[in-house]
Amino acid sequence: MIFRARDWLFEFPRPALVMGIVNVTPDSFSDGGRFLDPAAAVEHALQLEAEGAAILDIGGESTRPGAAPVAEEEELRRVLPVIRQLAGRIKIPISVDTQKPAVAQAALDSGAAIVNDIAANRVDDAMWRLVARARAGYIAMHMQGTPQTMQSHPEYDNVVAAVRAFFVERLERLAGAGVAPEQVALDCGLGFGKTVAHNLTLLAQQGQFTSLRRPLVVGASRKSFIGHASGERADQRWAGGLACACWAVAAGARIIRTHDVRQTVEALRMTENIQAAT
């Protein structure tokens, strides 16, 4: 299995990829405001690369439950300086976390290689066409509802079947827009229109998605369902996040999106050593 993002190529089997989170926002629930200054965000990104990140995910719009949308100009003003300064300076691909085609295009023009799209359940295909043109990587994440409404009453007959059907349909529509399967990674979207039980079921059942033969992305880092189990506040949830990361990789996930890069790399290498001995 291959994941291709412009000039980057990841060939599996290989050790799981750790995707380090770089928030350039004033209001992220776990590290909001710490890296709004571009220079601080760049420093943070360089540190995550040094800690072993294989991808950096740069985002300028908080998508925590209830967060207000950010205007396009403001989002561009946040992420572009960071992407421009990082491109060429780092040896790993940059992913842009955005729902807006114009932001994705500007980010790709500034050196990003992957579009991380939490709004992959979109109706028009502008985002997919620009991903196809740039031959960029694309993370299709499942979300029920919107960040404004998603946690009010998440409901599924069968959450695993619903997410799997979404993946199948999305791969078809992406192919129709010119995005090759090799460019696509799939993400069940933990916390995006899901109860605690839905999140746990999706983690437990990662193996149900491996037959789609695309890399699975899992982002559990610091999310509230971890706090539900541990009682810890967001910036103290790393241990629960590691448990999710190790479980997910043992069950078949290939890319772990996290704030806690150094600890995650260490825990995943240990998990893979155990796997190799089974």
5 part of the interface to ligand 8Y7, by CB under 6 A: no
Which residue type occupies 15? P
Three-state SS string across 190-246, please? Answer: CCCCCCHHHHHHHHHCHHHHHHHCCCEEECCCCCHHHHHHHCCCHHHCHHHHHHHHH
Do 88 and 49 touch, CB atoms closer than 8 A? no
Shortest distance (Å) from residue 30 CB to ligand 8Y7 = 6
Q: 78, 164, 170, 223: which is the annotated catalytic residue?
A: 223
Do 75 and 107 touch, CB atoms closer than 8 A? no
C-alpha 31/C-alpha 12 separation (Å) is 32
139 part of the interface to ligand 8Y7, by CB under 6 A: yes
Pick from 49, 187, 214, 260 the residue near ligand 8Y7 by CB under 6 A: 187
φ and ψ at 59, to 5 degrees? Answer: -130, 140
Question: How many other β-carbons are positioned within 10 Å of the β-carbon of residue 252?
Answer: 16
100 part of the interface to ligand 8Y7, by CB under 6 A: no
Q: Which residue is at the shortest CB distance from ligand 8Y7?
A: 219
Which residue type occupies 29? F
To the query of whether residue 257 is one of the catalytic residues in this protein, the response is: yes
Pick from 257, 264, 267, 268 the residue near ligand 8Y7 by CB under 6 A: 257
Per CB under 6 A, contacts with ligand 8Y7 among 18-77 are 21, 59, 63-64
Angle, CA of 141, 223 and 116, to the nearest 5°: 25
Pick from 110, 116, 199, 264 the residue near ligand 8Y7 by CB under 6 A: 116
C-alpha 45/C-alpha 57 separation (Å) is 9
Q: Which is nearer to ligand 8Y7, 51 or 276 (CB)?
A: 51
Q: Which region, judged by CB under 6 A, interacts with ligand 8Y7, from 33-41, 170-178, 184-192, 239-247? A: 184-192
Q: Which is nearer to ligand 8Y7, 235 or 274 (CB)?
A: 235
The 201-240 contact track toward ligand 8Y7, x by CB under 6 A, reads: ----------------x-x---x-----------------
183 part of the interface to ligand 8Y7, by CB under 6 A: no
C-alpha 51/C-alpha 13 separation (Å) is 22
Q: Which is nearer to ligand 8Y7, 111 or 189 (CB)?
A: 189
Report, as residue numbers or ranges, the catalytic residues.
Answer: 223, 257
